[in-house]
Structure 1
Amino acid sequence: MNYDFLQLEQKNQVATVWLNRAELHNAFNTKVIEELDACFTALNSRDDIRVVILAGRGKSFSAGADLNWMKQAGQASIEDNEADALKLAKMLQSLATLKQPTIARVHGIAFGGGMGLASACDICVASTDAKFATSEVRLGLAPSTISPYVIRAIGARQASRYFLTAERINVEQAKAIGLVHEISTPESLDAKVDEIVQNILLGGPEAQASSKALIRMVDHQEVTEDLLHKTAQHIAHVRQGAEAKNGLTAFLNKQSPAWIKATAEQ
């Protein structure tokens, strides 16, 4: 697929989705959102892709929504305005529910929707120059569509501050509140991302997809009898899969499982 505002690179089992609107700090509009959604949907069907990295060309990861696009959307009818916002919400859901582990490679600014993209990824690695913000209230807006992912990442208590103040969050603060997992110098950012990629590739792809689904199922749920049965059913289903059988047999025989062999052959 050809994209106007994205670049998709593949190196063995790793796909990197580059936001490629550098002159506007990778701000997104309807076209960028449509391309991201289509790209994530296509990657989700790819068994040859084990990890997806989301990154930005130029000086920034993403400045969030293009303000001219937001202004135009605000002047549309309520029905058209809602439909437009729903496209962004569904794109973020496509990213958050990818079967592959996802890594946000953040440098420069990640404001508004850019912070939403970073939050929707499973793992966030940021350079020392990274800055985050839910900046919407300073424009008379609210961080509506990104809120499920930002609140999941930093919690409601931290969101209560940053949604209301729109303060810029430096990378150390971002790590302290749970948004960022690892900090790296700009020169070592790719090496740090690759270090995490290599650890991901040691796990079974089906097991990782099941683990992502498990987190969504269990997060913020009370430990009830129903939840106990759901988690038991989950592991019972996973254990009966071919990947689990191969992985357990390989471990007991001190061999490499099939997914490690497949990686080594590339």
Structure 2
Amino acid sequence: MKAPTEGPDVSVVKTTHERGIATLTLDAPANRNALSAPLVSELGAALARCAGDRDVRAVVLTHTGTTFCAGADLKAPADPGAFVALMRAVVALPKPVVARVTGHVRAGGLGLLAACDIAVAGPASSYAFTEVRLGLAPAVISMPVLPRMDPRAASRYYLTGERFDAAEAARTGLVTLAADDVDSALQPVLDGLRRSSPEGLAASKALLTATVSETFDRWSKELTARSASLFASAEAREGVTAFLERRDPAWVL
């Protein structure tokens, strides 16, 4: 039997609750949890429900399959403005968002990851800002990424598109902790959040995210337009086509 494809009747974000922790699971493994319009919309709606639920103390964002998020759905990308709104929703949520990453993270997925307050990564995870190899740039994701990441590391990985591992992601500030056993490493984090007051968490998070929130206020419109312009460029068309055809783009030397 053919597996169901992503569509309006197939949920791509699953929600569970346990002792004050809402777990939101990206569940489109056949699409590598790419940022399609349905995934962006469903995740935004799930976050909004968590924001209004007094029984939710914190949110864990995780995934099925071997990829946390592959970035934009290159065949049917979500509107850049909708993705910016999603990242901002993670940042603005008055409850901590903890990323549980056991798979690969690419391009726009790194923006979603960086928007989270805490991130724990497993040894099978890997990371790459692949935009530059597609004729694009990490435009909108820079708003949450650059305030967190070591500037020299960001320069290297933005400009080369190299892949790096969980230990390097932790060293550069992209994730909080690299651990062999992600769930064991998460336990003290979740226990700490359960022992913290809701108002204390909201106020503390507001202090921590103030700079990122100001960055969104200042740059969202310009960077969203820049992202749309890059996606419409001739180089991006060649880069995306080459990627889908599994060949090098024309500019590779």
Partner residue, 1:136: 131
Partner residue, 1:114: 109
Partner residue, 1:192: 185
Matched, 1:213 2:220: no
Matches within 5 A, 1:11-160: 11-70=18-77, 84-160=79-155
Stretches of structure 2 lacking an aligned partner (at least 5 in a row): 1-8, 215-253
- Could you tell me how far apart the structure 1 residues matched to 2:166 and 2:50 are? 29
Partner residue, 1:236: none
Partner residue, 2:3: none
Stretches of structure 1 lacking an aligned partner (at least 5 in a row): 74-83, 222-266
Verify the 8 A CA contact 1:3 1:35 in the aligned structure 2. no
- Could you tell me how far apart the structure 2 residues matched to 1:155 and 1:94 are? 24
SS at match of 1:58: coil
Verify the 8 A CA contact 2:21 2:56 in the aligned structure 1. yes
How much does 1:166 deviate?
Answer: 1.1
- Could you tell me how far apart the structure 2 residues matched to 1:98 and 1:64 are? 22
Partner residue, 1:178: 173
**TM-score for both structures, normalised by structure 2:** 0.76
How much does 1:151 deviate?
Answer: 0.7
- Could you tell me how far apart the structure 2 residues matched to 1:65 and 1:85 are? 9
Q: Which structure exhibits the higher relative contact order, with contacts defined as CA atoms closer than 8 Å and separated by 6 or more residues?
A: 2
**TM-score for both structures, normalised by structure 1:** 0.73
- Could you tell me how far apart the structure 2 residues matched to 1:219 and 1:114 are? 17
- Could you tell me how far apart the structure 1 residues matched to 2:198 and 2:164 are? 34
Matched, 1:202 2:205: no
Q: Supply the AA of the counterpart residue of 1:20.
A: D
Verify the 8 A CA contact 2:69 2:109 in the aligned structure 1. yes
- Could you tell me how far apart the structure 2 residues matched to 1:69 and 1:220 are? 28
- Could you tell me how far apart the structure 1 residues matched to 2:98 and 2:192 are? 12
Select the structure that is richer in helix: 1
How much does 1:107 deviate?
Answer: 1.2
SS at match of 2:76: helix
Distance 1:219 1:142, change over 3 A: closer
Q: Deviations over 1:120-148 (max 9, x none)?
A: 10001000111011111111111122111
Verify the 8 A CA contact 2:143 2:212 in the aligned structure 1. no
How much does 1:3 deviate?
Answer: 6.4
Percent identical pairs in the alignment equals 34
SS at match of 2:60: strand
- Runs of 4 or more consecutive aligned structure 1 residues displaced over 4 Å after TM superposition: 218-221
- Could you tell me how far apart the structure 1 residues matched to 2:210 and 2:14 are? 33
How much does 1:56 deviate?
Answer: 0.7
- Could you tell me how far apart the structure 1 residues matched to 2:140 and 2:92 are? 15
Distance 1:197 1:135, change over 3 A: same
Count of aligned pairs between the two proteins:
206
